[in-house]
């Protein structure tokens, strides 16, 4: 297997330079090359499909699809006709204006894609082969498992491709730092897939906080119900072995029986398991890992905070300009170092930032919740997820993705009214916002420069859990000062044949 450096050198040497011709040079009636973005998707069976469909409008052209499992991904792309019919049947029942606009956009995207016959889009299993063989790719959407994000994004950046990466940006703190540094060195446009960052509700929440509506904020609570029914956590790794009749029925004994009962499975013919593993350690295939369940396993995912932290911590992080924490501690249900625990609580301490006071931020997942504020009245905290910023004058509350942002008590919102509008409103999808920026129209809302810092904060919660102790963090030097061993969790040793 060739290294990333050798691969990039080979591909770059055979790739012709691309000249971007502005629309005004060609005149009216012509579509400039810069108005038609050729996009490749890598990891296209789940959110990757959603992202690509959201990109179809606006002169964006899907030219390649790459996935390590074409049985799983192929089924997703084989339902476009059914997806269209379902959306058309749903449309008459949609009464909310914004939801109706979104439904119409999905219908338009599906009709456009079906009209050009999606079966003709080139398909690959190995993204490196795709980059080597296909020269018309301008931009890449990466929606693979977390552990592959950095390697693929770095390869794309090395080739001067614009990059959109699903959240979390990457698997390790070291990867986040390297991606941010590489993005600064290139002229391409980058974006992380935390779509709520582009939505009006979250932007209004930031404006309320920054305008002083709730006063000084020293306490933030953020929660998600993940993993719950979404994917399994807190389970043993499959380990078939002979079970002694003398094995007790205590917790270790039951765990051993569960590990044994999961059995042995062959790798499906349609799945390239070695490419799925990528830079992660060698582990035998099991369907409890793939598809989707990888998020709960420490080799490939980042748990609930990796899944939803970018959608929920984002607005407090943005509004309060939190930067990096000085200490992080995670407590949880039992964690065997392989499969993330059923539920966790993570305590962050952020220092004062200029005139802004120190902040304590607490993350809860697995159904754990913060105390309900008395001023919420007849309302209730959304158990699926939300955030609560506690200020000296009142509280700001929002749901997943920054939705339903509101002030507590209700009398505060009534007297305050709408906040001064200091942030631009994004009138496209998060994906099209990125695509437009690639063409020189506007700016991406979550570039790697911001996304890497937010992701690092999320990942430090995972690091503290793996370390099993409260960590004191020297962000300037990317170093944990109170535990030498804990520093090992800031980066990973890539499997042979893989590098960053």
pLDDT tens per residue across span 408-442: 999 999 999 999 999 999 999 999 999 999 999 99
Per-residue pLDDT at 15 = 45
- The secondary structure of 83-136 as a DSSP string is HHHHHHHHGGG--SHHHHHHHHHHHHHHHHHHHT-GGGSEEES-HHHHHHH---
- Supply the pLDDT for residue 26: 38
Q: What pLDDT shows up at residue 29?
A: 33
Mean pLDDT of 139-152: 98
Q: What is the pLDDT of residue 97?
A: 85
Q: DSSP code of 10?
A: H
* Mean pLDDT for the stretch of residues 199-209: 98
215, 217, 219, 225: CA torsion to nearest 10: 90
Q: Which residues on adjacent β-strands are paired with residue 62?
A: 39
**pLDDT of 4 higher than 70:** no
**Does pLDDT of 7 surpass 70?**
no
End-to-end CA separation in angstroms for the chain: 14
pLDDT value at position 17? 39
Contacts of 246 (CB under 8 A, 6+ apart): none
Residue 299: HSE in the Cβ half-sphere, 13 Å Cα cutoff: 18
Question: Each residue of 112-132: pLDDT tens digit?
Answer: 999 988 889 999 999 999 999
Mean pLDDT for the stretch of residues 307-321: 98
Q: What is the pTM of this model?
A: 0.91
Query: What does the alpha-carbon distance between residue 134 and residue 341 come to, in Å, rounded to a whole number?
Result: 42
Please check the confidence at residue 14 and state whether its pLDDT lies above 80: no
Of residues 4 and 229, more confidently modeled: 229
What percentage of the chain exceeds 90 in pLDDT?
85
Mean pLDDT of all residues belonging to the chain: 92
Choose among 386, 299, 389, 304: nearest CA to 346. Answer: 304
Structure tokens at 201: 């509700």
Longest Cα separation, the chain: 83
In this structure, are residues 52 and 62 in contact, taking their beta carbons and an 8 Å threshold? yes
Q: Which residue has the tokens 């799925």?
A: 276
The Cα–Cα gap between 23 and 21 comes to: 7
Q: How many residues does the chain have?
A: 500
How far is 434 from 442, CA to CA, in rounded Å?
9
* 115 vs 464: CA distance, rounded Å: 50
3-class DSSP state of 140: strand
Exposure on the CB side of residue 495, measured as CA atoms within 13 A: 16
Residue 131 tokens read as 């980059």
Q: Which residues pair with residue 271 across a beta bridge?
A: 69
Given a cut of 80, is residue 22 above it in pLDDT?
no
Cis peptide preceding 227, ω within 30 of 0 = yes
Residue 10 has pLDDT above 70, yes or no: no
Arithmetic mean of pLDDT, 221-228: 96
Q: How far is it, in rounded angstroms, from Cα 61 to Cα 263?
A: 44
Confidence of residue 34 (pLDDT cuts 50, 70, 90): low
**Measured distance CA(304)–CA(165) in Å, rounded:** 18
Rounded CA gap, 410 and 282, in Å?
54
Beta carbons of 215 and 407 less than 8 angstroms apart: no
Peptide bond into 409 cis (omega under 30): yes
Query: In terms of Cα–Cα distance, which of 290, 285, 401, 288 is closest to 46?
Result: 290
pLDDT greater than 60 at residue 16: no
- Ranges 13-22, 50-59, 285-294, most confident: 285-294
Q: How confident is the model at residue 20 (pLDDT cuts 50, 70, 90)?
A: very low
Which pLDDT score, from 0 to 100, does residue 119 have?
87
Q: What is the pLDDT of residue 33?
A: 53
Could you tell me which residues come within 8 angstroms of residue 459 by beta carbon, excluding any fewer than 6 positions away?
168, 170, 171, 172, 173, 176, 302, 306
* Contact residues for 461 (Cβ-Cβ < 8 A; gap 6+): 305, 309, 328, 330, 344, 346, 348, 363
> What is the rounded CA–CA span in Å between residue 74 and residue 67?
9
Give the C-alpha separation, 160 to 18, whole Å. 10
Across the range 457-474, mean pLDDT stands at: 98
Distance from C-alpha of 250 to C-alpha of 333, rounded to nearest angstrom:
17
């Amino acid at each position: 297997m060739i290294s990333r450096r050798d691969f990039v050198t080979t591909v770059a040497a055979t790739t012709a330079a691309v000249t971007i011709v502005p629309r005004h040079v060609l005149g009216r009636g012509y579509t400039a090359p810069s108005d038609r973005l050729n996009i490749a998707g890598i990891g296209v069976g789940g959110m990757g499909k959603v992202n690509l469909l959201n990109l179809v409008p606006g002169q964006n052209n899907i030219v390649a699809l790459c996935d390590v499992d074409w049985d799983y991904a192929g089924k997703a792309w084989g339902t476009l006709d059914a997806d269209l019919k379902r959306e058309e049947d749903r449309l008459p029942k949609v009464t909310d204006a914004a939801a109706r606009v979104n439904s119409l956009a999905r219908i338009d995207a599906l009709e456009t894609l079906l009209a050009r016959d999606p079966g003709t889009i080139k398909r690959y299993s190995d993204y490196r082969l795709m980059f080597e063989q296909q020269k018309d790719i301008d931009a890449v959407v990466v929606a693979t498992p977390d552990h592959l994000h950095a390697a693929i994004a770095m390869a794309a950046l090395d080739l001067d491709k614009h990059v959109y990466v699903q959240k979390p940006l990457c698997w390790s703190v070291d990867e986040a730092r390297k991606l941010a540094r590489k993005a600064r060195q290139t002229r391409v446009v980058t974006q992380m897939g935390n779509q709520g960052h582009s939505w009006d509700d979250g932007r209004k929440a930031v404006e309320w906080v920054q305008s002083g509506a709730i006063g000084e904020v020293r306490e933030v609570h953020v929660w998600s119900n993940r993993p719950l029914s979404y994917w399994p956590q807190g389970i043993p790794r499959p380990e078939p072995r002979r079970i002694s009749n003398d094995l007790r029925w205590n917790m270790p004994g039951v765990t051993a029986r569960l590990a044994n009962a999961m059995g042995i499975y062959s790798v499906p013919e349609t799945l390239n398991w070695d490419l799925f593993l990528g830079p992660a350690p060698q582990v035998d295939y099991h369907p409890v890992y793939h598809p989707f369940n990888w998020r709960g396993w420490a080799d490939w995912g980042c748990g609930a905070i990796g899944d939803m932290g970018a959608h929920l911590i984002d607005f407090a992080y943005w509004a309060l300009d939190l930067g990096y924490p000085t200490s992080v501690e995670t407590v949880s249900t039992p964690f065997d170092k392989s499969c993330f625990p059923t539920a966790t609580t993570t305590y962050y301490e952020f220092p004062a930032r200029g005139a802004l006071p120190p902040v304590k931020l607490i993350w809860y997942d697995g159904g754990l919740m913060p105390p309900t504020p008395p001023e919420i009245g007849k309302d209730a905290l959304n158990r699926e997820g939300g955030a609560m910023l506690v200020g000296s004058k009142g509280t700001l509350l929002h749901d997943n993705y920054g939705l339903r942002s509101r002030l507590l008590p209700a009398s505060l919102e009534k007297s305050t009214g709408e906040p001064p509008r200091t942030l631009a409103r994004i009138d496209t999808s998060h994906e099209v916002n990125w695509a437009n920026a690639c063409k020189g129209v506007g700016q991406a809302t979550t570039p790697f420069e911001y996304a890497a810092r937010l992701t690092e904060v999320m990942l430090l919660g995972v690091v503290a859990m793996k370390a099993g102790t409260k960590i004191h963090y020297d962000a300037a030097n990317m170093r944990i000062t109170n535990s030498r061993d804990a520093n090992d969790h800031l980066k990973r040793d890539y499997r042979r044949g893989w590098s960053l």
